[in-house]
Chain A
Amino acid sequence: MFASLRRDREALVASLLVGVLALILLLLIAIPLWSLLSKAVQNGQGAFIGLGNFERYFATPALVRSLWNSIWLSALVALIVVPLAFIYAYALTRSLMPARGLFMALALTPIFAPSLLSAISLIYVFGNQGFLKSWLMGGTIYGPIGIILAEVVYCFPHALMIIVTALRLADGRLYEVAEALGTSKPRVFFTVTLPGARYGMISAAFVVFTLVITDFGIPKVIGGQFNVLATDAYKQIVGQQNFEMGAVVGLILLAPAILAFVVDRQVQKKQVALLSARAVPYQPKPNAKRDWALLIYCLVVGGILLAMLGVAIWASFIRYWPYNLSYTLNNYQFDNFDPQGWNAYLTSLKMGAATAIIGTALIFTGAYLIEKTKPAPALRGFAHFLAMLPMAVPGLVLGLGYVFFVNAPWNPLGVFYGTLTVLVANSIAHFYTVAHITAVTALKQIDGEFESVSASLKVPFWTTFRRVTVPISMPAILDIAVYMFVNALTTVSAVIFLYGPSTKLASIAIVHMDEAGAVAAAAAMATCIVVTAMGVKLLHLLLDRLVFAKLQAWRKR
């Protein structure tokens, strides 16, 4: 084995690279998670105390209350979002309603904003100075109502994407058969449509539950005195420096996420089985009544989503809400509200760009090594497992893991605490899995014999990677880079524990300015993030259409 490796330079290089990849993934993903797990079973002095921390956790009524709050709140949001998203997805995939593409884009806009943007909007509308405060009939938006409304907006696009995919996979033949058998429309809906989308809806419900239970930004901004797990973790770590209790909360947050991950994998297996290779895509038939009803529905839902973004953006230009509604740019003078001022935004851009560039290079090269090289199969399998792990780990939990890992007394990497390096490493790890899957999917579509042909021509695989694989995969590589950039820009929950005095990010500045009562400035900073994220996405689409269409002339027949 080793004798042949020495003779085979290519296999040696490939094995070495896979080894390096596995090491990087261990460092980025596995060891931080391990730090979290071990911290949860240690006392303040680092001695092993078994489940002692958990006992203490469940003996503290305030903490248990937060757990219960988190669970029912997340379940309720899932129950609201899934049906809302289902009807919207139905309109997009099963009707001839006009402007379906536009409505899809509209529904995805919340993805480009930090989750707490919708919470800020709600404060403007229903908060103490809100113009619709009376609608709450004496109730307050600062608490469960506000959290639920904001989370619904935040989670809607995630649920929608999953359900749209499920509905698109329908086999049109099933509908033709049902029609040929003279089945009534409602019966077709309940016997064909709903069962077909069932798995997607289950998967969406779990994803939403996990998103809500691990979200930090919204409850922080609009939760008031209402405590949930994510804000508890923040208070334990940042407020009380109680790392052990923070680790316990992190582990509790990990449970639903892992459950959601497992359910999703099962569901996806079944979903694939539903659609045979011979299936024919479903073609909706004109039906004016249905299309009008769905159009009105989408206008209302899409309008609300847009309003939740729009109000905060609008309010960021208002001089003094709600007394002086004249326009100003004063709220964008961030130096007046936060010591870091505009630097936070620049740091975010730097962090996003570094995450996108380094992350994309690492993830695509890693996926190539795992998918296309032959030596060291066990190590490649291990690397793939590590790459899939972050999917099951919420950002908040990963962030906690990083805190414990970087701050561990034995860790020489501790010097990086609070630096951009840690923020970038954490963001790459946080968004690794989706990008990895995108890369693997793109690579699987490439002829598996390219490497064999290269070997026969005595061309090493790294030359083929550079000359063929990367150029062919350029659209997927760009997708990954934009995904990494946008997410690094909008994320709050992972990085809130990790930033340092000179590396405060825009999303964290939003939290701080809101905390300090400068809601308009917080809205202004959020607006900067939204505009940047959307701008990058638009640029991506434009590049894709104009530049790469020319560079990729070989795709044309």
Chain B
Amino acid sequence: MPDMSVSIVPGTEKRAKDSRFLSVRNLTKAFGAFLALKDIDLDIAEGEFVCFLGPSGCGKTTLLRAIAGLDRQTSGTIMLRGRDVSHAPPSARDFGIVFQSYALFPNLSVADNIGYGLVNEKRARPEIERRVAELLALVGLPEQASKYPAQLSGGQQQRVALARALATSPGLLLLDEPLSALDARVRLRLREEIRSLQRRLGVTTIMVTHDQEEALSMAERIVVMNHGVIEQVGTPEEVYAWPQTAFVADFVGRMTFLSGVMSEGGIVDIGSHPLRVQSANLPPGATVEVGLRPEAVRLVAALGGENRLAMRIEALEYLGSFVRATLAVRAGSPLTLLADIPFNRMQDQPLKPGDHVVAHLPAEALRLFPARTGG
């Protein structure tokens, strides 16, 4: 796992780095009447690793391609190192890019692929060879220079694509779902490799992904997007623990939502069950959604005290290191929520569907969101 504590906001402890290495202002992209990006504002600091996270069609790839200049925005500006590149062609923007499909040139050897951009810079042959060898060593493929892409595994191809993107030492590295086409094991290993490579080189990196786990484990900051707008920007901890919208809460990790009405004194009425919450800055009578992560639910011995509910186990789903239980209250108004039970807890006290349990929903783990409109 990458160590998150090193530098959450780069530039604060290291020498003065540009906190607005890349600035996006009022960026909008329209395809006919459909708005793929709506008025996006975003700043990315030098050396930062940022993930654009969201479901397919949320606009994350559109934003990346606009930053690259591959698909021009309809309106808005993009500044790179304080220079307005909004209308500059891709070749004038100083970035390297890796695609999900790798887009390696099949008729060129690995070395020729990596040297593709260097040849164009009219560098001397031995210099190019030295640089290619250096990059091959960097991505851990020193022996593969003369092979063709079709002779490499998917993971190896992705490393070659990475080396090619880094060859010209770009200021900005763009990764468009780089790991999606790989199988699970290779994906995990490459995650760590890309992250440590990025740290070593200090190259500002933007990665587009729809995989929340990937974003949480790799990014210094996550930009969560949905329907062409940014829902939240924050560190992985912030996004996971303090989701600002119900969408973020549900997309990053799992969350159960319970509909309720604010009442007096930090209490929300979920049907006939009162729940104490911490952040109660909504007026009484407002309809709200109370969000709760399954792993925050505790199974306790007895009723009594706040936020404890007598529930019945409706179903159990075995998920390896834990068991996800569907709990329901049938008395009063019906209510269902998910609870993750650690595997060792299950071994100590086996549970089965139909068993009655008491669930404790800790007030500090309950998140309040305004009721979602339109379902």
Contact = CB atoms under 8 A, between A and B. Distances in A.
Interface string A455-471: 11111100110011001
Contacts of A4: 87, 89
B70 interface: yes
A177 B168 CA distance: 57
A555 B106 contact: yes
Interface residues of A, number: 31
Contacts of A10: 89, 91
B147 to A, nearest CB: 9
Interface string A516-557: 000000000000000000000000000000000000111111
B164 interface: yes
A452 B70 CA distance: 7
Nearest to B71: A374
Nearest to A451: B70
A557 B69 contact: no
Contacts of A23: none
Given A8-B89, A456-B68, A456-B97, A450 B105 contact: yes
A472 interface: yes
Interface string B68-101: 1110000000000000000111111001110101
Nearest to B68: A456
B68 A554 contact: no
Contacts of A450: 103, 105
Question: For A11, A447, A464, which residue has the most chain B Cβ atoms within 10 angstroms?
Answer: A447
Given A449-B99, A449-B101, A554-B148, A455 B90 contact: yes
A458 B99 contact: no
A452 B87 contact: no
A242 to B, nearest CB: 52
A3 interface: yes
Interface string B98-125: 0101010111110000001100110000
B151 interface: yes
B87 A457 contact: no
Interface in A361-413: none
A238 interface: no
A512 B168 CA distance: 66
A467 B148 CA distance: 15
**Contact size range, B:** 20 to 34
Given A447-B103, A455-B69, A463-B120, A553 B108 contact: no
A455 B89 contact: yes
A7 interface: yes
Contact of A457 (B92, B101, B116): B116
Question: For A449, A455, A457, A464, which residue has the most chain B Cβ atoms within 10 angstroms?
Answer: A457
Interface in A444-494: 447, 449-450, 452-460, 463-464, 467-468, 471-472
A455 B91 contact: yes
B69 A458 contact: no
A458 B103 contact: no
Contacts of B150: 554-557
B238 to A, nearest CB: 31
Contacts of B149: 554
B107 A449 contact: no
Given A7-B92, A460-B91, A554-B148, A452 B106 contact: no
Contact of B90 (A7, A452, A464, A472): A452
Contact of B105 (A8, A458, A467): A467
Nearest to A446: B106
B99 A554 contact: no
A253 B48 CA distance: 68
A459 B116 contact: yes
B148 A553 contact: yes
Question: For A447, A453, A460, which residue has the most chain B Cβ atoms within 10 angstroms?
Answer: A453
Contact of B107 (A11, A453, A458, A472): A472
B223 interface: no
Contacts of B92: 7-8
Nearest to B118: A457
B165 interface: yes
A375 to B, nearest CB: 10
Nearest to B91: A458
A362 to B, nearest CB: 23
Given A8-B89, A452-B90, A555-B106, A447 B121 contact: no
Contacts of A468: 105, 107-108
A457 B120 contact: yes
A458 B121 CA distance: 8
B103 A11 contact: no
A453 B164 contact: yes
A471 to B, nearest CB: 5
A452 B97 CA distance: 8
Given A452-B68, A453-B164, A554-B148, A3 B87 contact: yes
A459 B114 CA distance: 13
Nearest to A454: B116
Interface in A1-39: 3-4, 7-11
Nearest to B100: A449
A468 B106 CA distance: 8
Contacts of A458: 91, 117, 120-121, 168
A23 B233 CA distance: 51
A7 B68 contact: no
Nearest to A450: B103
Nearest to A555: B150
B145 to A, nearest CB: 14
A464 B105 CA distance: 9
Contacts of A449: 99, 101, 103
Contact of A455 (B70, B107, B148, B170): B70
Question: For B68, B107, B109, which residue has the most chain A Cβ atoms within 10 angstroms?
Answer: B107
Contacts of B109: 554
Interface string B40-79: 0000000000000000000000000000111000000000
A456 B88 CA distance: 12
A11 B89 contact: yes
A407 to B, nearest CB: 46
Given A453-B97, A457-B117, A554-B148, A7 B105 contact: no
A496 to B, nearest CB: 43
Contacts of A8: 88-89, 92
B88 A459 contact: no
Contacts of B101: 447, 449
A457 B89 contact: no
A459 B117 contact: yes
A557 B151 contact: yes
A13 B108 CA distance: 26
Interface in B171-191: 174
A444 to B, nearest CB: 14
A465 to B, nearest CB: 12
Nearest to B109: A554
Contact of A453 (B88, B99, B170): B99
Nearest to A473: B107
B106 A554 contact: yes
Contacts of B106: 472, 554-555
B120 A459 contact: yes
A554 B109 CA distance: 8
Nearest to A10: B89
A449 B149 CA distance: 16
A309 to B, nearest CB: 39
A471 B107 CA distance: 7
A3 B150 CA distance: 42
A555 B149 CA distance: 9
B20 to A, nearest CB: 22
Interface of B: 68-70, 87-92, 95-97, 99, 101, 103, 105-109, 116-117, 120-121, 148-151, 164-165, 167-168, 170, 174
Given A552-B107, A556-B150, 12 more contacts: A8-B92, A449-B103, A450-B103, A450-B105, A453-B97, A456-B96, A459-B116, A459-B117, A460-B91, A554-B150, A555-B150, A556-B148
5 contacts: A7-B88, A455-B91, A457-B120, A467-B105, A554-B108
The 6 closest A-B pairs by CB, nearest first: A457-B117, A455-B90, A8-B89, A449-B103, A554-B148, A4-B87
